[in-house]
Amino acid sequence: MTDSAYEPYYVPHSSKLPIFASIGIFLTVFGIGHILNDLSAGVDSAFGMVTLILGGLVMGLTLFFWFSKVIEENYKQLYSNQMNRSYVWGMSWFIFSEVMFFAAFFGALFYVRVFVVDWIGGVGDRGPSGMLWPNYEPHWPLLNTPDPERFPGASGVIPAMGLPLVNTLLLVTSSFTVSFAHHAIKEGNRKRIIQWLTVTVTLGLIFLFVQGYEYVHAYNDLGLTLGSGIYGTTFFMLTGFHGAHVTLGTFMLLIMLFRALKGHFTDDNCFGFEAAAWYWHFVDVVWIALFIFVYVLGG
């Protein structure tokens, strides 16, 4: 950017979108909170669900109009290169925040595996803790918990070299196909963009289906559940949050597919797509970490 050729930075007018987004978030979490408290207290009430649905609607519509507005402003050429860099930075830092969210759960897994499982068994200089549960054997994966009455344990874990390996191949392949779609945008080949995006979205959906199948198997056949002890806890929370992110990423790419069908994206104006693709790569990297630490080394 040179001083003489300064492009104005677009500062939008006042907007009603953010306040609706705030209301949407509030109703959503208020609804979920009521549902959870009612569930735990054994109360039957529709209030939570109604609030949640209302909040979800407000949030969904607001986001739809918000993104529409940004796309519209972009196509009116209100955005300078500097503005586009703001979006690039913004998405990058958002992904960094997501990395840190997963870091908390990976940290919990490592801490439990490396320290807690042994310490509960009285290993090291913490002898007395071994007297609390004399039948407890330190072992990972932890299938026999110290207190089986509250945390019943599981009869087995998901082996890495079965469905998880399939899922790894699916996600890694999808990272390539989304890149092919990006190349197609750079070449201006619309047919290819649509083809590769369709393939990517399909791979994401198959991944989610396989993951769901694996969960059903774990719950029904292995007794491996959220409440079965720390192995089930870390397993389902890590893979579950990853699955939620795959769902979001698939949804983002699906929107990009619709946009591509509408004729959006040129080689120098495709940040919406790039942001979704970055998110997809991030989800892929998290999966590889999961595959190594939860399935291969943890199973």
Partner 1 sequence: MITEHPHDSHGPDKGLMRWVVTTNHKDIGTLYLWFSFLMFLTGGVMALIIRSELFQPGLQLVQPESFNQMTTMHGLIMVFGAVMPAFVGLANWLIPMMVGAPDMAMPRMNNFSFWILPFAFGLLLSSLFMEGGAPNFGWTFYAPLSTDFGPPSTTFFIFGVHMMGISSIMGSINIIVTILNLRAPGMTLMKMPLFVWTWLITAYLLIAVMPVLAGVVTMMLMDIHFNTAFFSAGGGGDPVLFQHIFWFFGHPEVYIMILPAFGVVSAIIPTFARKRLFGYESMVYATSSIAFLSFIVWAHHMFTVGIPIAGELYFMYATMLIAVPTGVKVFNWVATMWQGSMTFETPMLFAIAFVVLFTIGGLSGLMLSIVPADFQYHDTYFVVAHFHYVLVPGSVFSVMAAVYYWLPKWTGNMYDEALGKTHFWLSFIGINITFFPQHFSGLAGMPRRIPDYALQFADFNMISSCGAFLFGFSQLLFLFIIIKTIRGGEKATEQVWEGAHGLEWTLPSPAPYHTFATPPSDLNDAHG
CB of 59 to partner 1, least distance (A): 12
- Answer for which of 57, 61, 114, 226 binds partner 1 (CB under 8 A) is 226
Nearer to partner 1, 115 or 209 (CB): 115
Listed as own residue / partner, the contacts of 209-217 with beta carbons closer than 8 Å and 24 or more positions apart are: 210/163, 210/166, 210/167, 210/170, 211/167, 211/239, 211/243, 211/246, 213/163, 214/158, 214/163, 214/164, 214/167, 217/158
Nearest residue (CB) to partner 1, 196 versus 279: 279
Amino acid at 87: Y
Interface stretch with partner 1, choices 139-147, 160-168, 174-182, 272-280 (CB under 8 A): 139-147
Given 55, 122, 146, 204, the residue binding partner 1 (CB under 8 A): 146
Q: Give the span between the Cα atoms of 256 and 149, in whole angstroms.
A: 49
Helix, strand or coil, per DSSP, at residue 213: helix
Binders of partner 1 in range 33-92 (CB under 8 A) = 33, 36-37, 39-41, 66, 69, 72-73, 76, 78, 82, 85-86, 89-90
Residue 196 or 231: the one with the smaller Cβ distance to partner 1 is: 231
Helix (H, G, I), strand (E, B) or coil at 266: strand
Nearer to partner 1 among residue 103 and residue 261 (C-beta): 103
User: Which residue among 74, 177, 233, 239 contacts partner 1 (CB under 8 A)?
Assistant: 233
For residues 102 and 74, give the distance between their C-alpha atoms in angstroms, rounded to a whole number.
32
Is 231 a binding residue for partner 1 by CB under 8 A? The answer is yes
For residues 29 and 261, which CB has a smaller minimum distance to partner 1 in the complex?
Answer: 29
Give bridge partners of residue 269 from the DSSP assignment: 266
Site string for partner 1, 95-134 (x = CB under 8 A): -xxx-xx-xxx-xx--xx--xxx-xx---xxx-----xx-
Closest to partner 1 by CB, 91 or 210 = 91
State how far the Cα of 295 lies from the Cα of 242, in Å rounded to an integer.
Answer: 14
- Rounded to 5 degrees, φ, ψ at 5 are -105, 50
* Integer Cα distance of 93 and 80 in angstroms: 20
Q: Scanning residues 149 to 168, which ones bind partner 1 (CB under 8 A)?
A: 150-151
